[in-house]
Amino acid sequence: MRKFIISIFLALAAAGQSFAWNGTDSIFLPAADSLFAAEDSALAGLHIKDKFLPVSKRIDRGINDITYVYKNEIAIGLDVSYGTLSSDDTNLMLMIDGLDFKGSVITVNPSVGYFFTDNICVGTRFGYSKVDGNLGNVSLDLGTDDLDLSLSDILLRSQVTTMGVFLRSYAGVDPKGVFGLFAELELAYKTGNSMFSYNTSSGPNTTHTNNYQARLGISAGVSVYIMPKLCCNLSFGLGGISYNKIRQHDAAGIYTGGRTATSMNWKLNLLDIGIGFNVHL
């Protein structure tokens, strides 16, 4: 609209240039291109002032002000856990008599990561876990003859292997870089098998199960250097998305059933706690 008004004004002014002004002088007006250029420049400046902060820019929150791990370092990690459980260590309800249970769990998770920039690494992790449980005898007494139950010779054995890749980001807490926090995103695939056997009135019964799981998970934790190149980590699982597939066979290898399940949980998992260490090279 402004350009249209200026164009009309210039046309009238050009027509009036043939008339004398005070007898000799004529009216002088700038060229139309100069006026348009000046107007575009003023409008452009107005748009720049009104424009919101570009998306490509972010507020610097100072997360990377402290370098906790330097670029090109290699971190070799290992998480190991071992635990045992027996009926002597448990306080169960008095209605359960003659409980004879023994079990053990061992887990080994080696890993290696490369820091392609300060405080951020990408790596791979392998894992192996084994569970052994033996319930020799258990008697359930509810006070009536119809509700008494007795089981014996129940055996559970399970083995699981894991392979995954992860991306981990650190943030230093103190100026000396001793304490730090980290967040990790992991894509893992688990495969394993388990065997469950028990005695019945008709004889022993055995079931074999094959387990498969694909999982995308998030975890966070605390890290501390106890030596110049030795770092201890404590991590907590925060949930993720998983796909599970289970297939069961009897002792003769005949397929008896199975199921698939997909789940998405985003919460602090107190059962998914990892303690380990990293050696930085």
Cα 26 to Cα 75: distance, rounded to the nearest angstrom: 83
Q: What is the DSSP letter of 25?
A: B
List all residues 6 or more positions away from 7 whose beta carbon is below 8 Å from its beta carbon.
32
Quick one: tokens of 200?
Answer: 């019945």
Q: Tell me which fold the domain 74-280 belongs to.
A: Porin (2.40.160)
> Does residue 179 contact residue 200 with C-beta atoms inside 8 Å?
no
Q: What is the DSSP letter of 12?
A: H
Cα 271 to Cα 274: distance, rounded to the nearest angstrom: 9
> Does residue 168 contact residue 186 with C-beta atoms inside 8 Å?
no
Cα 77 to Cα 116: distance, rounded to the nearest angstrom: 17
**What element of type H or E holds 53?**
none
**What element of type H or E holds 184?**
strand 179-200
Cβ-count burial of 260 within 10 angstroms (0-12 exposed, 13-18 middle, 19+ buried)?
exposed
> Does residue 233 contact residue 195 with C-beta atoms inside 8 Å?
no
The pLDDT, as a whole number, for residue 197 is 84
> Does residue 275 contact residue 79 with C-beta atoms inside 8 Å?
yes
Cα 70 to Cα 72: distance, rounded to the nearest angstrom: 7
List all residues 6 or more positions away from 265 whose beta carbon is below 8 Å from its beta carbon.
239, 240
The pLDDT, as a whole number, for residue 95 is 43
The pLDDT, as a whole number, for residue 189 is 97
What pTM was estimated for this model as a whole?
0.68
> What residue ranges do the domains of the chain occupy?
2-50, 74-280
DSSP, collapsed to helix, strand or coil, labels residue 130 as: strand
The pLDDT, as a whole number, for residue 23 is 45
> Does residue 274 contact residue 79 with C-beta atoms inside 8 Å?
yes
For the chain, 281 residues long, the average pLDDT of each consecutive 10-residue run is: 53 48 46 51 49 59 84 93 65 50 85 95 95 72 58 82 96 91 96 85 81 94 93 91 92 86 85 86 92
Instruction: Write phi, then psi, for 46 (nearest 5 degrees).
Output: -65, -40
